[in-house]
C-alpha cells in the first residue's frame, strides 16, 4: 500500500540549528529505568530506535554533577570526563544509522535528594526538596551560582566530546524557578 502523500513531510529532512535530521521522527528525551546502572541496555534501546529509522534520538535526563543526583533512580550521568565513554557509545550507536544524537543535561536542584553523594541539595531558596524525603535544600549564594553555570558549560563541552549533535539544558521539576532566579540575579546591576 503506498504512503498517503499527506505524510510525506514527516520523511523530509529538517534543519535544527547547525545540524540536519534525516526526517522528522524525533524521540524526545525520556527516562527508561536504565541510565548509568544498565549502560548496555541504555545504549541498545536507543540503537534500536535509530535502526528503525528515527531521525533524532535523545538521552534521558543526564545528571551533570554529584550535587544533583537521584539515586536510586538510574539516570544518565555526566559528572566528569570518566562518564564520556558511555555517553559516546550511545551517540555512536545512534550515528551508525544516520540519526542525530541529543543529550538532556540536568541539575535538579530542589528536586534531588543526593542519596548517593550525600551533598546538601541547593536551590534558589532554602526549603524542603520536592521528593518525600525529609531533606532541606540550602539557598544558593553567588559562588554556587557561578559553579552552577560552570557545571553546565563543562557538561556541554563533554557532550560535544562524546559526539552529541543536540544539547539541551533541562529546566523542569522546579529548575525553571532556578533558571529564572539566576537570570534575574544576573541582570541586577549590584551583582
- Supply angle C-alpha 65, 149, 120, rounded to 5: 45
pLDDT for the residue 155: 96
| Of the candidates 57, 116, 62, 61, the residue with the CA atom closest to the CA atom of residue 92 | 57
Residue 21 has pLDDT above 80, yes or no: yes
Locate the DSSP E strands across 3-98. Answer: 14-16, 19-21, 26-27, 56-63, 76-77
pLDDT by residue (tens digit) across 65-120?
999 888 888 899 999 999 999 999 999 999 999 999 999 999 988 888 898 999 99
Count Cβ atoms below 10 Å from residue 135 Cβ, excluding itself.
16
Distance, CA of 164 to CA of 57 (rounded, Å): 10
Instruction: Name the band, by pLDDT with cuts 50, 70 and 90, for residue 51.
Output: very high
Residue 190 has pLDDT above 50, yes or no: no
Distance, CA of 128 to CA of 139 (rounded, Å): 11
Q: 73 lies in a domain?
A: yes
pLDDT for the residue 172: 65
pLDDT by residue (tens digit) across 126-159?
988 887 788 898 999 999 999 999 999 999 999 9
- Percentage with pLDDT > 70 across the chain: 90
- Which residue shows C-alpha cell 533524532? 56
Q: 188 lies in a domain?
A: no
Q: For residue 70, what is its C-alpha cell? A: 537521584
Q: 162 lies in a domain?
A: yes
On whether the CB atoms of residues 166 and 56 are closer than 8 A, the answer is yes
pLDDT for the residue 15: 96
Q: Is the pTM value of this prediction over 0.75?
A: yes
pLDDT for the residue 125: 86
Instruction: Name the band, by pLDDT with cuts 50, 70 and 90, for residue 169.
Output: confident
On whether the CB atoms of residues 138 and 129 are closer than 8 A, the answer is no
CATH number, domain at 137?
3.20.20.70
Instruction: Name the band, by pLDDT with cuts 50, 70 and 90, for residue 173.
Output: low
pLDDT for the residue 176: 45
Q: 1 lies in a domain?
A: no
Q: Helix, strand, coil: what percent of the chain each, to 5?
A: 35, 20, 45
Q: 170 lies in a domain?
A: yes
Q: 4 lies in a domain?
A: no
Question: Which structural domain range is residue 163 located in?
Answer: 23-182
CA count, 13 A, side-chain hemisphere, 130: 14
Q: 93 lies in a domain?
A: yes
Phi, psi of 107 (to 5 degrees): -125, 110
Q: 168 lies in a domain?
A: yes
In the chain, how many domains are there? Answer: 1
Amino acid at each position: 500500500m503506498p504512503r498517503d502523500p499527506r505524510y510525506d513531510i514527516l520523511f523530509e529532512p529538517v534543519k535544527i540549528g547547525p545540524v540536519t535530521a534525516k526526517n522528522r521522527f524525533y524521540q524526545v528525551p525520556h527516562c527508561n529505568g536504565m541510565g548509568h546502572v544498565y549502560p548496555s541496555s541504555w545504549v541498545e534501546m536507543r540503537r534500536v530506535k535509530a535502526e528503525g529509522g528515527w531521525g533524532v534520538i535523545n538521552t534521558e535526563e543526564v545528571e551533570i554533577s554529584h550535587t544533583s543526583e537521584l539515586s536510586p533512580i538510574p539516570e544518565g550521568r555526566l559528572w566528569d570526563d570518566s562518564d564520556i565513554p558511555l555517553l559516546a557509545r550511545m551517540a555512536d550507536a545512534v550515528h551508525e544509522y544516520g540519526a542525530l544524537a541529543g543529550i538532556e543535561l540536568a541539575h535538579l536542584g530542589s528536586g534531588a535528594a543526593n542519596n548517593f553523594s550525600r551533598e546538601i541539595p541547593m536551590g534558589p531558596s532554602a526549603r524542603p526538596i520536592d521528593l518525600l524525603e525529609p531533606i532541606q535544600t540550602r539557598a544558593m549564594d553567588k559562588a554556587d551560582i557561578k559553579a552552577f553555570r560552570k557545571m553546565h558549560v563543562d557538561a556541554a563541552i563533554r557532550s560535544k566530546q562524546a559526539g552529541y549533535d543536540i544539547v539541551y539544558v533541562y529546566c523542569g521539576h522546579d529548575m525553571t524557578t532556578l533558571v529564572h532566579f539566576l537570570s534575574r540575579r544576573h541582570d541586577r546591576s549590584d551583582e
